[in-house]
Homo-oligomer: A and B are copies of this chain.
Amino acid sequence: MGYTIGQVAKKTGLSVHTLRYYEKEGLLPFIKKNSADLRVFSDSDLGWLELIECLKATGLHLKGIKQYIDWYIEGDSTLQQRLDMFKQQKIRVEQQMAELQKHMNKINYKIELYTQAVKDGTLHPEKETA
């Protein structure tokens, strides 16, 4: 229930530099410091890091994540904005999934093409535009 920055770095795969950078950017406003001025991460902070990772991986920039956290801090008056943000993010993820499926189809086609080409020892039809 209390982790050092090094422990959190190991747990999350982020570097200690990145964790400090996130804090500086206002993405981790709930971290405490102990008497020796060392950061003490709680389980809740780990939860925030997971959420940051989720929003980042789905295309939100740190600025957008900060906006969400600022809304969170502001309290119940921003519930609608936060809901809207998640709804917007859901739409993005759906688009990303559709895009990814299209890319997968193209890659599968290439794998077929090149599997045959390796068998033949040559790539004949050059269907690069497929």
Binding site for B on A (CB under 8 A): 43-44, 46-48, 50-51, 54, 57-58, 76, 79-80, 82-83, 86-87, 89-90, 93-94, 96-97, 99-101, 103-104, 106-108, 110-111, 114-115, 117-118, 121-123, 128-130
Tallying the copies of this chain within the complex gives 2
Pick the contact of A107: B89, B97, B114, B129 (CB < 8 A): B89
Tell me the nearest residue of chain B to A92, going by C-beta: B107
Q: Judging by beta carbons under 8 Å apart, are A50 and B129 in contact?
A: yes
Pick the contact of A44: B89, B107, B122, B129 (CB < 8 A): B129
Q: Judging by beta carbons under 8 Å apart, are A129 and B46 in contact?
A: yes
Pick the contact of A57: B89, B99, B115 (CB < 8 A): B99
Q: Judging by beta carbons under 8 Å apart, are B118 and A83 in contact?
A: yes
